[in-house]
Structures are given as structure tokens and as C-alpha cells.
Amino acid sequence: MNGRDIGTIYRKELKDSLRDRRTLMSTILIPTLVMPALLFGVGRIASTVVARAQEEVPAVVVLGGADSPGVMALLKKSGRFHVVPGSADWRRMISDKKIRAAVEIPPGFEAGLNSGAAPAVTIYHYQGELKSGIAVDRLDAFFVRVRDRTVEARLAEHGLPATLANPFATRHANVAPPEKVGGNLVGGIIPYLIIVLCFTGAMYPGIDLTAGEKERGTMEALLCSPVSRLDIVLGKFLMVLTGSLAAMGFSLISLCGSLAVLGSVAGAGTRGRSMPAGDVLPVVDPAGVLGVLAMIAPVAVLFSAIIFTVALFAKSYKEAQSYVAPMVFIVILPAVVGMLPGIDLNARLAFVPILNLSLVCKEMLSGVWNWNYIAIVFVSTCAYAAAALALAVRMFKREDVIFRA
């Protein structure tokens, strides 16, 4: 192994990659734009949609209620609903989003309030639909107020205080520092995005430096040079690894910049109001971010070596894409599982590739440092990466792989 030859190959491939638009898009442009797009684009759209849904006065149908005029009057005067005439196909109207919910007031409901034996009210809705859920929440709040007023009136009739029905209240107080709260909020999504970007950042350089060179006919000229196969494969591998690490680095820089801009905007919007730290934007522990960077490095090596090896079997760029592109789902699946609540890192999951990284990064961003598991994840990932790199070197030395007919 000759370090000078490896450096020469690496610099040559780096110059060629910087001229390739697909590589620049996958390693620089997309990773740089994805974070602002999520925070400013998707986040702004989501907040706008929710705000508009909350401003809308939901249309609801009242079933029954003819013998409960007082409740009906309160419902119509509340201003929180638009009561529309009932029809026989009210179920289909909810499913078609023409109305948001229907409330069934049973016979004798108002009389039951006075006697203390009111029957149950049933609310029909479209489960999982945003505006229907808002209508249900408002209907629930309305009937809770009706119930509370009824209780207060009956207590007053007996000369009892209204607090008798609610003798005490509960309060919630957060004891976790802002760094742990913020890490718990974003601890799942950040590792997921970094894992996906690491893979996509290595994808196009890995394909171009193997199948791309075969298709262009430059692989034979490179193999005829007075450089060993080991030096060639290591130089090419370092370029693929550079693409993976560059995608991760640009995404983190973009994330930090976006959060800084959001923080300044949110801070200007809340100026003059006393708000606890972390209420405007999640606060992440810098030590956790550094820990994530350290744990991501061997995974980037693993991705680069695997993509390099798989693409090496292809005869053309298009064929290599058909081999490598489905691997994205293999990467996404364990990363998504790591985001799910209730799945915690243990000794068994610490050996599962990608999933172990997602779980340990989520814990580190939350301020939890299980050093035994961290060591297991790091060592096992390094072992997988070394095995993948050794396989890449071995495959590159095989003539039947390089010149597959």
C-alpha cells in the first residue's frame, strides 16, 4: 500500500467528481437544502394548515335534541359550531367531509340533567381527519362545560360551594433541563435524516467511480497504470467516503444555520414576553451532537464500502442504479424503527446495524450516555465497516467482477 498513490487516485477522482452535477447535487445541494425545506417549507405549511383548520367554524349535525331546547340554544349561541339541518345520509356527509361531526342528543337529555340521570351523548366523527378532530374537541369541551354548570347549579341549590366537585387541582412541572427536552423531541428525526443523507451522499460517487468508469471505458486505462489494485480501490473508496461525509456535514451546517435563523425570528416575535428556554425552539446538547458525529463516521464507511462493492458488479450506470437504489429502503426501515417510541437500546439491539446507531444517537441527543452500549455500537459498527471495506477490496481484485460480461 502506497500512500502517495492512494492520494493521487483520490485527488484525481475528487476533481472528476466536482465536475459531475449529479454528485454535486447529492453531496452538497440536496443536503444543504433539505433542512431549510423541512423547517421553513414543510413546517410553515403544516402550521398554516393547522391554524386555518382551527379558525374554521366546523359544520355539525345535531341528531335529536327536540326535547332539550336549552342545550340546543347554548350549542347554537356558542359560536364554536355551525349547526346544519340533519339528514338521513349524515354518515356519508362526514366521510365526504361535507360536515365535520354529528352529535346525538338522546331523548330526555335536558330533563335528565335536572334529575341527575342524563343519558350519554354520542359524537360521530371521521377518525384521523384533522378538521373532524377539531370539531370533536370543541364538542367535548362544550358538553364538559354543560356538565360543570349543571353540577355547580345543583350544588348551589343545596348551599354547597362549587369547589366541592373539584376539591383540588393538579399542576405539571417539568424537571428536565431544556437540553434533554429538546434532545427528546428531535432525537429521533435527526439521526434518521443523517443516516439517509450519508447513504445518498455515497450513492452517486460510488456508482460513478465503478460502473460509470466501466461505461466510459476509463477503468481499463486506470488498471493499466503502475498502481496496485489496493491503492486504486482505497483511493476510490476515500472519494466515496468524502461524498458521504460531505452530505452529512452540509446537512448539519444547514440545520444549525436554519435553527439559528428560526431562533432569531422567534426571539424577535416573543421579545418582551418571559418564556422559558426551549419553549420557542428545541435546545440540543452540543455534546450530544458531537457524539452523533463520532458514531456516524463508521456508518459512513460502512455505506461507502457497501455501495462501492454492489455498484462494482454493474456494467453500466443505469444498471448500478437499479442495484443500489432499492438499498435505500433497507437503510430507511431500521432508521424508522429507531424513531418509534418505546423502543430502547439494549444489548441485543446494540448489534443490529443502523438501528443501533439510530437508538444510541437518540439517547445521546437526549443527554443519556450509556457508555457500555455506546462502546458496543461503535465497535460493532467499525467491525461491519471493516468487513465491508475488505469485501470491496477483494471484489475489486477479481477480474470476473471488473470485466463482467
Give the model confidence (pLDDT) of 269-281 as tens digits.
545 454 444 444 5
Question: CATH 3.40.190 region(s) of the chain?
Answer: 56-164
Bridge partners (DSSP) of residue 123 are: 103
Cα 76 to the center of its chain, rounded Å: 41
Q: Is the pLDDT of residue 265 over 70?
A: no
Q: Does domain 56-164 have CATH number 2.40.10?
A: no
Which range scores top for mean pLDDT: 134-143, 180-189, 307-316? 134-143
Mean per-residue pLDDT, 149-160: 83
3, 230 Cβ separation under 8 angstroms:
no
Angstrom CA distances, 275 to 183, 280, 284, 297, 338, stand at 19, 8, 17, 37, 32
Mean per-residue pLDDT over the chain, rounded: 81
Q: Is the pLDDT of residue 312 over 80?
A: yes
Cα 166 to the center of its chain, rounded Å: 40
**Single pTM value for the model:** 0.69
More confident: 188 or 63: 63
Percent of the chain scoring above 90 in pLDDT: 4
C-alpha to C-alpha distance for 7 and 327, rounded to whole angstroms? 30
C-alpha to C-alpha distance for 386 and 152, rounded to whole angstroms? 72
DSSP 119: P
208, 317 Cβ separation under 8 angstroms:
yes
181, 276 Cβ separation under 8 angstroms:
no
Bridge partners (DSSP) of residue 124 are: 102
Q: Is the pLDDT of residue 287 over 50?
A: yes
pLDDT range class, residue 140, cuts 50, 70, 90:
very high
Q: What is the CA radius of gyration of the chain?
A: 30
User: Which of 49, 48, 61, 125 is closest to 88 using CA atoms?
Assistant: 61
Mean per-residue pLDDT, 305-320: 85
C-alpha to C-alpha distance for 58 and 271, rounded to whole angstroms? 34
Locate 219 and state its grid cell: 477503468
Mean per-residue pLDDT, 345-371: 84
C-alpha to C-alpha distance for 185 and 189, rounded to whole angstroms? 8
Can you give the pLDDT at residue 270?
47
Can you give the pLDDT at residue 383?
92
- Give the pLDDT confidence of 72-97 residue by residue, as tens digits: 888 888 888 888 877 788 889 999 88
- Give the pLDDT confidence of 100-137 residue by residue, as tens digits: 999 998 888 888 887 777 788 899 999 988 889 999 99
Can you give the pLDDT at residue 177?
73
Q: Which amino acid is at 74?
A: L
